[in-house]
Amino acid sequence: MPEEEFVSWVEECEKKGEAIALEARKTHLVGLKEAIEKGKALGQMEIRESHPKLDWDQKRLAIRDVNPFAEWALYRPQPAVPEKMRERGRPRKNN
């Protein structure tokens, strides 16, 4: 997302007092594996959309609920990384 677009999104969220759903787009080039498995043309450009989540990431102590577009609060970092965030090995895709 270009910086100007991000700034306007933040300003819009501040006016509404809540987060507006994001939609991110990126250009994707079809690779060899995808071309073979899905029958797409190798090197074909595609526009892919994603919807980033704005959920709490557990990196800081949640002392109280705060709407970041309406108020401000200082949260201290977690004293240690919770076990659920320390999964060992390579991340697996959910198919």
Instruction: Answer for the pair 17, 69: CB distance below 8 angstroms, yes or no.
Output: yes
Alpha carbon dihedral 81, 85, 89, 94, in 10-degree steps, equals: -170
pTM recorded for the entire structure: 0.47
Residue 67 has pLDDT above 90, yes or no: no
Least confident of 28-32, 58-62, 89-93: 89-93
